[in-house]
């Protein structure tokens, strides 16, 4: 599978870790690239607290998992090469998913390097990685879980899934589709929908195994954090209660900045529950192709997650490369592309205008984040449409114009 | 008939007044009241730049009285003759061992004015209290009640000194006298500052009411609000100390007045009449000692009147009880006009302090403190930074520089308490305390990265664009060659032997306050944001469920 261009891409990414990059500080502070849950400076601050006997989870500064804290304090220092390696693992996992889906067993495939490039050269993923945001690790674990599940390797897949839900609690959305993927095949079934074929009982057993792994990680993290359950509130609790209102490209921060105090708990509940609502309908409708269901749920996370950073929609966009069969059925790919271009250009400009230059106000950036939301929504809705439309097949060349496929 | 009745009624009211005044005028003013002593003091110090520091101190001593035991539930009746009852009730109710309140306006210029007589020169309001722990009320309940009671007494916004601003920096604000206190108690400190509080006449009026002679006689006669609050720097101080002799209340007023400005830049001559627009007609009859002291300047050519009776070359002392009416004046007859000293004459304090927030962004910045040592020996000090949760310090970026080279070895004993979530859902202040060694004749630059918090729109005050005041940092004396220890009664508890080689500062010093501008949301937008965000959520949710639930069909297109 190791074609030369694939290896070239990988080594370029590795080299980049050793290259001094201008504006590294600005990248690390950028609110688009890392959120309070993934920011590198907060990671360093947590390490400083840990080394100076201050509780890292006091003061609402450090919101990373205790596992990352112990990794970077005991095993290796937080150096850029770790992020490069994580990116390479992610790209490799994406290529493996692609090969499993296309049943390419041996020999390099022509699209390997394209798939790897879609991950490594995606600016939404590369820039957060250069900013040393820990969302890079979260994305790599999601892809690893999907890859191992596609290969049918149960325990490693469930372990990777446990890691990814541990690092970012909203990844719980992916548990159901990954379990479905484990008991079915990863080969594209979009064109021929059929009822769920996997064994439900096996899926339950796998869920039990996943829960066991998750509890082990939870226990390990609690032991490492030491002082009580404060870390749960600071890490996972932050995704539910939004204590830090630092701007990001998502929808939560300005909504809860401007929210009336007495409605805050209600809308926090609405926004959290809203994410969960998508799991069942998408998994039921795409029960014949669990990988596509997880792809759509990654897209949902990339719009509605609390503490969104560009790495979240970036993962969705990179995963598009796995499903070339739906491309002909996309209704408005150009509009989606333009919306993303629009949003990714406006976000940094309006952010700078508001907080750096002091010329614009918060509404500018909010407007850009709404465009980002529309762009993400357009991508997910279009992918959802194309995933369903493909099953209806094409109308013969001569009959076009006479017949049309619609939804009732 | 009506006139007769009226005259009778009038006589009923007037007679006691007349008799009481005749009584008091009969008794000579030099009496002493059992168990209470009152004395007052004024120090006037002309400065080299023509300004005049006047420091008033009014001290009342309750002999043999110790602070209330917090476990003691029954409070005996309080009878005071000289001690202000309103303050005494507050101290007893919340069993306060030690209390310090200062209300100041302006920035104390240590370089040109030297150390103040009363070291509490923090800009705005500063309140700190030591309380013995125990009893039915917790320390925090007593602290809350204390600041509300003092807010009422002094008409100041001390109620705003809430848990967001309260900390317990023991080393910087030590208990003044340990020896007289019961060892069996645990003592707790609460300290808070409110840099945006401004001092004005409404604070001086209740302050003067605490004095036995109000502002009618004695030194307090000079406290003319129109002149006092026109000064370059002015402040009120209330200090309650538990000493070996009893409970001591020290009320102080400090002001830095500028006669050169008054005279249009021509002369630095001053007198009570010119500084305060008043002179002293009579001494306060109940005061056991009442002195006005003038610090004699180094330069010659001045003329002091009235002529010096007491004192030495450095200090002229006037006794109010024998020298009333009194209007001290100091003239420089040969100066036409007053020559301002060159600006770079050496600073009067051993350390010069600069503190600033760098960075133009509304999210990031660098807090930088430059400490210049003006002495020929290293100076070691404690540095205390108490910041409200509006600003997050990034401790991993702390660094010290001397002449452009990084010298992290000069920072030691770092103790940092991040802002903790209080039970009321608010974050308390973050407290950073370090020990710094400033090398001789050089400047140490301490810098820490900060970020500014994004607040909910309801958490911003009115006029949010003005920004928030950050409290001053405090430099405090430390024990050299050892851990930071308490300083008691201006002398260290133990181990003074090594003070010659290294030095520390004699008193607390305050840095200037800072103004931080936080990023603001649009305050008119809540409905719009809720509507727009919810519309987007509904749009995506609706589209996806529309796609997922509807059936597919192939329809014939009609021509």
Q: Does A362 touch chain B (CB under 8 A)?
A: yes
Q: How many CB atoms lie within 10 A of CB A53?
A: 7
Decide if A255 is inside a domain: yes
Residues A180, A198: contact at Cβ < 8 Å?
Answer: yes
DSSP character string of B392-416: EEEEEEEEEEETTEE-GGGEEEEEE
Residue A408 lies in a domain: no
With an 8 Å Cβ cutoff, are A406 and B396 in contact?
A: no
* Chain B residues lying within 8 Å of A308, measured CB to CB: none
B392 and A CB contact within 8 Å:
yes
Residue B559 and residue B557: Cα distance in Å, rounded?
A: 6
CB atoms within 10 A of CB A259: 22
Distance from CA of A369 to the nearest CA of B (A): 10
- Dihedral sign computed on CA atoms, order A32, A33, A37, A41: negative
Partners of residue B132 on adjacent β-strands: B187
| pTM for the whole structure | 0.88
| Contact state of B537 with A358 under an 8 Å Cβ cutoff | no
B465 contact A CB<8A? no
* Cα separation values, B53 from A41, B43, B255, B318, Å: 47, 8, 6, 17
List the strands of the sheet with B303-305, edge to edge. Answer: B270-271, B329-331, B303-305
CB B387 within 8 A of CB B393: yes
CA distance B309 to B318: 7
Let me know if residue A402 belongs to a domain: no
Alpha-carbon gap, residue B463 to B460, rounded angstroms: 8
Q: List pLDDT tens digits, range B458-467.
A: 989 888 888 8
B22 alpha-carbon distance from chain centroid: 42
* A403 lies in some domain: no
Asked if residue A328 belongs to a domain, the reply is yes
A52 and B537 in contact by Cβ < 8 A?
A: no
Report the alpha-carbon distance of residue A228 to residue A249 in Å, rounded.
Answer: 33
The CA-CA-CA angle for residues B90, B92, B94, to 5°, reads 70
Q: Summarize pLDDT for B374-408 with one digit per residue, the tens.
A: 888 889 999 999 999 999 999 999 999 999 999 99
SS3 sequence of B345-391: CCCCCCEEEEEEEECCCCCEEEEEEEEEECCCCCEEEEEEEEECCCE
Question: How many domains does one find in chain A?
Answer: 1
Alpha-carbon gap, residue A248 to A206, rounded angstroms:
36
Whether A76 is in a domain gets the answer: yes
- Tell me whether residues B362 and A403 touch, CB distance under 8 A: no
A148 is a domain residue: yes
In this structure, is residue A399 part of a structural domain? no
- DSSP for A291-328, written as a single string: HHHHHHHHHHHHHH-TT--THHHHHHHHHGGG-GGGGG
| Cβ pairs bridging A and B (under 8 Å) | 166
Cα(A140)–Cα(A261) distance, rounded to whole angstroms?
A: 37
| Contact in structure between B477 and B382 (CB atoms under 8 Å) | yes
- Min Cα separation B121/chain A (Å): 30
* Cβ within 8 Å of A, B 272-291: none
Query: Which residue of chain B has the CA closest to A405?
Result: B554
Alpha-carbon B113 to chain mean position: 17
- The partner residue sitting opposite B536, judged by closest CB among A52, A260, A370, is A370
pLDDT in tens, chain B (559 residues): 444 444 444 444 433 333 333 333 333 444 557 789 999 999 999 998 889 999 999 999 998 888 888 888 776 778 888 999 999 999 988 989 999 999 999 999 999 999 999 999 999 999 999 998 888 889 999 999 999 999 999 999 998 888 899 999 988 998 886 665 666 678 899 999 999 998 989 999 999 999 999 888 899 999 999 999 999 999 999 999 988 888 899 999 999 999 998 888 888 899 999 999 998 988 898 999 999 999 998 877 888 888 776 667 788 899 888 887 889 999 998 888 888 876 657 888 889 999 999 988 889 999 999 999 988 888 999 999 999 999 999 999 999 999 999 999 999 889 999 998 888 878 899 999 999 999 988 999 999 999 999 999 998 988 888 889 999 999 999 876 544 343 444 444 443 334 444 688 888 999 999 999 899 999 998 999 999 999 999 999 999 999 999 999 888 887 6
- Assign B46 to helix, strand or coil: strand
Residues 45-104 of B with CB under 8 A from A: none
**By residue range, what is the domain housing residue A115?**
4-392
Q: CB distance from A316 to chain B under 8 Å?
A: no
The stretches of B107-178 forming alpha helices (DSSP H) are 110-113, 139-154
ipTM for the assembly: 0.94
Q: Which residue ranges in chain A fall short of pLDDT 70? A: 1-2, 106-108
SS3 B490: coil
DSSP per residue, B506-540: SS-EEPPPEEEPPP---TT-HHHHHHHHHHHHHHH
| A279: Cα within 13 Å, side-chain hemisphere | 16
Element (H, E) at B102: strand B96-105
Q: Please give the Cα distance from B23 to B365 (Å, whole number).
A: 68
Dihedral of alpha carbons A181, A185, A191, A197, sign:
negative
Q: Tokens standing for A148?
A: 């191992």
Among A45, A395, A402, select the one facing B394 at the smallest CB separation: A45
* Ordered domains of chain B (ranges, CATH): 36-331 (no CATH), 351-482+498-516 (2.60.40.740)
């Amino acid at each position: 599978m190791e074609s030369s261009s694939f290896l070239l891409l990988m080594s370029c990414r590795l080299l980049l870790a050793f290259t001094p990059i201008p504006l590294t500080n600005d990248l690390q502070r950028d609110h688009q690239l890392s959120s309070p849950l993934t920011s590198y400076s907060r990671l360093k601050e947590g390490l400083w607290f840990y080394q100076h006997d201050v509780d890292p989870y006091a003061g609402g500064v450090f919101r990373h998992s205790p596992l990352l804290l112990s990794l970077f304090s005991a095993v290796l220092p937080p150096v850029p090469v770790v992020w490069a390696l994580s990116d390479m693992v992610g790209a490799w996992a994406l290529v493996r998913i692609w090969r499993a889906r296309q049943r390419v067993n041996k020999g390099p495939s022509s699209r390997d390097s394209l798939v790897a490039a879609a991950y490594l050269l995606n600016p939404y993923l590369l820039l957060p990685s250069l900013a040393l945001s820990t969302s890079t690790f979260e994305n790599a674990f999601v892809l690893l879980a999907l890859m191992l599940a596609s290969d049918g390797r149960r325990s490693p897949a469930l372990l990777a899934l446990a890691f990814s839900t541990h690092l970012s609690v909203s990844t719980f959305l992916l548990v159901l589709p990954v379990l479905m993927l484990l008991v079915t095949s990863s080969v594209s079934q979009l064109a021929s929908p059929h009822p769920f074929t996997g064994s439900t009982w096996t899926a339950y057993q796998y869920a039990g195994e996943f829960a066991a792994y998750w509890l082990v990680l939870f226990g390990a993290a609690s032991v490492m954090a030491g002082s009580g359950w404060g870390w749960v509130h600071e890490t996972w609790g932050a995704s539910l209660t939004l204590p830090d209102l630092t701007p990001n490209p998502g929808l939560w921060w300005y909504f809860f900045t401007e929210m009336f105090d007495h409605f805050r708990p209600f809308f926090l509940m609405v926004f959290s529950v809203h994410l969960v609502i998508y799991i069942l309908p998408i998994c039921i409708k795409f029960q014949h192709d669990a990988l596509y269901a997880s792809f759509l749920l990654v897209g949902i996370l990339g719009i509605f997650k609390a503490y969104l950073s560009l790495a979240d929609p970036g993962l969705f966009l990179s995963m598009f490369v796995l499903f070339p069969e739906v491309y002909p059925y996309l209704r408005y790919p150009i509009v989606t592309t333009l919306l993303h271009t629009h949003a990714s250009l406006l976000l940094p400009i309006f952010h700078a205008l508001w907080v750096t230059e002091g010329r614009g106000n918060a509404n500018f950036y909010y407007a850009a984040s709404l465009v980002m939301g529309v762009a993400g929504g357009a991508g997910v809705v279009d992918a959802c449409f194309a995933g369903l439309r493909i099953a209806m097949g094409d109308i013969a060349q001569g009959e076009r114009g006479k017949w049309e496929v619609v939804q009732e | 008939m009506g006139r007769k009745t009226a005259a009778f009624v009038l006589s009923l009211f007037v007679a006691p007044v007349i008799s009481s005044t005749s009584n008091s005028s009969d008794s000579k003013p030099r009496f002493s009241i059992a168990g209470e002593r009152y004395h007052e003091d004024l120090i006037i110090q002309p400065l080299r730049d023509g300004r005049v520091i006047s420091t008033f101190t009014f001290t009342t001593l309750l002999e043999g009285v110790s602070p209330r035991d917090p476990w003691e539930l029954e409070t005996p009746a309080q009878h005071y003759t000289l001690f202000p009852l309103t303050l005494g009730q507050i101290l007893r109710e919340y069993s306060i061992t030690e209390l310090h309140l200062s209300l100041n306006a302006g920035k104390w210029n240590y370089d040109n004015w030297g150390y103040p007589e009363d070291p509490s020169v923090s800009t705005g309001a500063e309140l700190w209290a030591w309380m013995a722990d125990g009893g039915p009320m917790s320390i925090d309940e007593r602290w809350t009640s204390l600041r509300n009671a003092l807010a009422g007494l002094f008409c100041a916004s001390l109620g705003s000194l809430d848990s967001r601003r309260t900390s317990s920096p023991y080393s910087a604000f030590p208990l003044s006298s340990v020896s007289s206190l019961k060892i069996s108690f645990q003592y707790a400190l609460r300290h808070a500052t409110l840099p945006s509080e401004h001092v004005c006449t409404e604070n001086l009026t209740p302050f003067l009411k605490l004095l036995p002679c109000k502002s009618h006689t004695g030194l307090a006669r000079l406290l003319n609000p129109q002149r006092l609050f026109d000064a370059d720097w002015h402040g009120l101080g209330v200090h309650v100390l538990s000493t070996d002799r009893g409970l001591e209340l020290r009320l102080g007023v400090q002001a830095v007045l500028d006669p050169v400005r008054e005279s249009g830049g021509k002369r630095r001559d001053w007198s009570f009449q010119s500084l305060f627009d008043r002179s002293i007609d009579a001494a306060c009859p109940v005061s056991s000692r009442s002195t006005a002291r003038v610090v004699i300047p180094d330069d010659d050519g001045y003329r002091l009147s009235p002529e010096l009776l007491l004192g030495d070359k450095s200090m002229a002392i006037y006794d109010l009880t024998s020298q009333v009416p009194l209007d001290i004046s100091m003239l420089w007859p040969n100066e036409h006009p007053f020559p301002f000293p060159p600006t770079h004459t050496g600073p009067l304090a051993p350390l010069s302090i600069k503190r600033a927030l760098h960075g133009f962004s509304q999210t990031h910045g660098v807090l930088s403190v430059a400490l210049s040592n003006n002495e020929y020996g290293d100076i070691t000090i404690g540095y205390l930074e108490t910041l409200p949760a509006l600003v997050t310090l990034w401790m991993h970026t702390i660094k010290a520089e001397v002449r452009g080279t990084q010298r992290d070895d000069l920072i030691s004993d770092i103790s940092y308490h991040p802002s903790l979530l209080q039970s009321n859902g608010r974050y308390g202040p973050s407290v950073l305390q370090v020990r710094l060694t400033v090398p001789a004749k050089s400047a140490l630059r301490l810098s820490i990265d900060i970020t500014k918090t994004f607040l909910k729109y309801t958490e911003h005050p009115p006029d949010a664009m003005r920004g928030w005041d950050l409290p001053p940092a405090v430099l405090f004396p430390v024990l050299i060659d050892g851990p930071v220890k308490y300083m008691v009664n201006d002398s260290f508890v133990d181990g003074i032997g090594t003070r010659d080689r290294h030095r520390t500062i004699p008193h607390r010093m305050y840095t200037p306050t800072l103004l931080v501008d936080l990023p603001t949301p649009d305050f008119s937008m809540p409905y719009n944001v809720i509507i727009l965000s919810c519309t987007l959520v509904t749009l995506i949710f609706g589209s996806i469920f529309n796609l997922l639930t509807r059936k597919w069909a192939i329809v014939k297109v009609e021509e």
